[in-house]
Amino acid sequence: MKILFIVQGEGRGHMTQALALEHVLNTAGHHVSDVIVGTCNHREIPFFFRDKSKAQLHTIESPNFYFDKKNKSIHVFKTLYHNLIKTPRFIRQLFKIHSIYRPAQHDMIINFYDMLGGIYFATFRPQAQTVAIAHQYMALLKNFPFADGYFWQKKAFQWTNTISSANTQKILALSFQPLPSEQDKVHVMPPLLRPEVKQLQPTDQGFILAYVVNKGYGEDIMAWQKQHSNIIIHCFWDNSKEPDGWSPQPNIYFHHINDSHFLEKMAACSGYISTAGFESICEAAFLNKPIMMVPVAGQYEQACNAKDALRAKIGITASGFEVDQLLQHMSSFVTSHSIKQWVLRGEYEFPKVITQKLSQENLQWARNFQ
């Protein structure tokens, strides 16, 4: 099969999932020929993605989050406003997707949680088979641990799930642990981790690794470490205003986001603290690292991610980047290889599930949209 990817470019998680699936499918004899990545004017495709993907890369301008003045929590109204005023521009991006998609060359389109990808499926109704992949689709299953409160954020989360998977014939819900799929159309699948992660040999070199992306959280870690200067912290963030490897005080180092360097530090750290993005939490769990998750304020899906990880007994959660709780967790941490076995199943599960024929029910459902 010849396959086209559409990938949400917010953060690194969906892009690393796309790289992992590209490798799995190409190894199984299929061909991922083109990848469309959603970007914005303050976000570019990371070098690691350009370097690792063997497909032809294309970019579109896609909806994205906007943060408060402290660069910590998502500003809901600011996000809605800026994305709404860009509606005409987003409509033009749909036509750009359609110009890249070639019916004679693409048998399947796989969307990694990009909203324009789902809107494209619903409006242009491509002839190719359509698949949607994300951890967020676990919310389609019964007993998913939704975060309490946040009524409108929960609705927005559910609407995003609906829009991004519109007119999709298969939905692959990435899970921290094996669970029943419950629905014929929704398949519970292992996390998608790249070969580089699976080949790492974990060690313990006595430092804490932090992944914060937003500058505001980096300042919180700096303030904590100033009071605990004996604790060594390596922190990765998206802040080009400071040089790579910047050390504002003894024993704390700030690195620009660099995939190979990040994985090197992940394998060597004593514990990992991060926002509650699905992908890096899975990487740390695969390497048997103690984990503390701090959901980004205002990002409802991260609050759900944290609860789902707790359900799978992967790490602890906290409301801020004070590292004391992680240190306490590290003192009682017991290693487990359960997620490692689950992840390794994906190497044969993904080609099988993605290429298997649709059931009669799903075939009829697909025909109704074509």
Is 327 in the same domain as 271? Answer: yes
Which residues on adjacent β-strands are paired with residue 235? Answer: 210, 254
Q: 176 in helix, strand or coil?
A: coil
Under 8 Å between Cβ of 253 and 160: no
The pLDDT score that the predictor gives to residue 311 is 93
Query: For position 65, what pLDDT does the model report?
Result: 62
151 and 290, same domain (yes or no): no
112/141 same-domain check: yes
Is the Cβ–Cβ distance between 31 and 53 less than 8 Å?
A: no
Q: For residues 27 and 101, state if they share a domain.
A: yes
Task: Say whether both 291 and 163 belong to one domain.
Answer: no
Instruction: Kindly state whether residues 105 and 9 are assigned to the same domain.
Output: yes
| d(C-alpha 361, C-alpha 353), whole Å | 16
**Residues 46, 338: Cα–Cα separation, whole Å:** 31
Half-sphere exposure of 308 (CA within 13 A, CB side): 29
- Same domain as 42, residue 185: yes
Query: Contact at 8 Å (CB) between 74 and 297?
Result: yes
Domain with 236 in it: what CATH number? 3.40.50.2000
Are residues 184 and 204 located together in one domain of the fold?
no
pLDDT one digit per residue (tens) for the chain, 370 residues: 999 999 998 767 899 999 999 999 999 999 999 999 988 655 667 788 888 999 999 999 877 665 556 555 555 566 666 667 777 888 999 999 999 999 989 999 999 999 999 999 999 999 999 999 999 999 999 889 999 877 888 888 898 899 999 999 999 999 999 998 877 789 999 999 999 999 999 999 999 999 987 788 888 999 999 999 999 999 998 888 899 999 999 999 999 988 889 999 999 999 999 988 899 999 999 999 999 999 887 788 889 999 999 999 999 999 888 899 999 999 999 877 679 999 999 999 999 999 886 444 444 434 443 3
Using H for helix, E for strand and C for coil, what is the string for 193-260? CCHHHHCCCCCCCCCEEEEEECHHHHHHHHHHHHCCCCCCEEEEECCCCCCCCECCCCCEEEEECCHH
- State residue 40's pLDDT score: 67
Question: 240 and 177 in one domain?
Answer: no
- Rounded to the nearest 5°, which phi and psi values hold at 214? -75, 135
End-to-end CA distance of the chain: 20
Residues 19 and 80 in one domain: yes
pTM, rounded to two decimals: 0.87
211/252 same-domain check: yes
Query: For the chain, what is the domain count?
Result: 2
Range of the domain at 309: 200-336
* 53 and 169 belong to one structural domain: yes
- Helix (H) or strand (E) holding 274, with range, is strand 271-274
